[in-house]
Chain A
Amino acid sequence: MGYSGARGGLEAILAAEDLVRRARDHAPVAWADTEQIVARFRLAVDRVMGEAGLFDEDTAAAAFRQAEGDPLEASHLLRAYRSTLPRLAVGEPVDPDDMLILRRIVPAFREPDGPQLLGRTTDYTGRLLEKPTARPEADEHVAGTPKPRTDEQRRPRRFLDLLRDLGLAVDHRGEAEDAEPFDLTRKPARPPAPRSAALAAMARAETGALVSLWYRSILGPDGNLHEVTLGEVRHGRLPLRVKHPHTGNPVAVGNFRVTEAEAIEDLNGAEEDRSRFDVGYGLCFGHNERKAIAMANLDIANRRFGKSGPLEQLLLLTTDGLDSGGFLEHLKLPHYVTFRSMVERKRALQAAAGTGEGPAPRQSEPFGGQC
């Protein structure tokens, strides 16, 4: 990077930080405790966990409070915290079919196996702003006494399995070796990369970046026009199992919530099996349907177009919020020397023009040299 370091200003920096702390922590309003943030700003907390790549609601809520509600800054804090932690274990591979569903919709098919469970959603209601001046009165709500929950209601068979039964889905099982998954936290992914790298990158991508890239893949200039049907969206809890150090058997140490999506692609390429559909997959921490749906669509788009166009590179290199946000924000740091050298070049060009000698031959700058 070409920006210069800067010395001095320590007192001003400390005073600025102190101003943040005092205004944030000692504002003359009620303190927002962690429990309150988790309960009232659930989706923001979930988004922070997903973009940081660390699941823990209380820690994410603390980051959200410290970041004054900025999800990207909160993710930054959470990732920085995660980087200080030892890795206690690698969990046993999670089977998404183990998910206990809290919400599950199958937009592609009216009567799938198991329920269409709306769960906690405002998808079907008008967005009318409410501005209560105090906590709203609770409605009289008497919880019903439903019949015991069946296995199908707990863990319904996925829509993809139905498509397979009908002979309508391209079957990719067994195509790949059971390769070790790519670990983005140890090594940055660069194209060409295995699918596990793209899935991991999307799972912790910035939500807006992923949605934007998805929209670009639909309407953008790359020509990857493809039919999008959403097979299934789920929000639910998955068990985390680790190997017991004494017995060697898996032990469930708790649950974490995820959102999962399947995207159905209508194949139409010359080399593709046009008699079947292909399926893309998305799964991210917390309740974040926008992200999981974009991920599933981009997974299948990446399978089809990732290697022949810019999509894989865009996915791997431009969707991480800390990467893009960090690069953008570094522009605020002092760039005095860089800019002075640019000014000097302009002056040299002007001086050369004045003497009639013409400009010096152009030299290409290294990538990032202007920053």
Chain B
Amino acid sequence: MTDPLGREERCGLLAEAEPGELRALADACLADGADVRVLLAPEVGCVQTQVREPVAGERFLLGDVLACRAEVELAGHRGWAMRLGDDRAAVLAAAVLDAEVEAGRARAAEVDELCREVARRLVEREEREWAELAPTVVEFEELT
């Protein structure tokens, strides 16, 4: 038995999930006719990005990152999601999945399992990436 994910971790992993798998699981969650309300319709906008530069520790604004967010209420519990990009359907589905877990509904474990699958995939992606990068580690000789 694995520990349930924390809410921030779950939101972060749902933000990295594929749109198709989010929509499929959200459809399954809502198939029982549960009472769902869209509190915040999926909205595309930007997140202002501030960087704390390392020389003096001063913050500056690097620019904006395109993102979308949504919020729903499912069985009396709120679900919230934000993802990068502009896929409104995916962010709405992620909000439904967040609410499914918050409400402790029937498919909460499936949502957690999806998140764990996404986490595994991210690790694999990083491993594949490192397999490509590692051969480019270099040690130059000094001319004497």
Contacts and interface: CB of A to CB of B under 8 A. Distances in A.
**Is chain B found bound to chain A in the same assembly?**
yes
B55 A280 contact: yes
Given A91-B65, A119-B133, A97 B54 contact: yes
Contact of A244 (B8, B53, B68, B134): B8
A71 interface: no
Given A88-B46, A146-B130, A59 B66 contact: yes
A252 B10 CA distance: 10
Interface stretch (A109-117, A319-327, A338-346): A109-117
Interface stretch (A171-179, A309-317, A329-337): A171-179
Contacts, number: 226
B60 A200 contact: yes
Interface of B: 7-8, 11-12, 15-16, 43-69, 71, 78, 80, 82-86, 126-140, 142
Contacts of B127: 148-149
Given A85-B44, A181-B50, A117 B78 contact: no
A256 B65 contact: yes
Nearest to A251: B8
A172 B55 contact: yes
Contacts of B85: 56, 58
A89 B55 contact: no
B142 to A, nearest CB: 6
Interface string A11-49: 000000000000000000000000000000000000001
Query: How extensive is the interface on chain A, given as a class?
Result: 35 or more
A96 B64 contact: no
Contact of B137 (A59, A116, A283): A116
Contacts of A284: 62
B2 to A, nearest CB: 20
A53 interface: yes
A255 B126 CA distance: 13
Nearest to A107: B140
Contacts of B53: 96, 199, 281, 283
Contacts of A185: 61, 64
B63 A254 contact: no
B46 A94 contact: no
A229 B127 CA distance: 33
Interface string A225-254: 000000000000000101011110111111
A96 B55 CA distance: 11
Contact of A254 (B45, B78, B83, B130): B83
Contact of B50 (A85, A90, A262): A90
Interface in A182-225: 182-185, 195-197, 199-200, 203-204
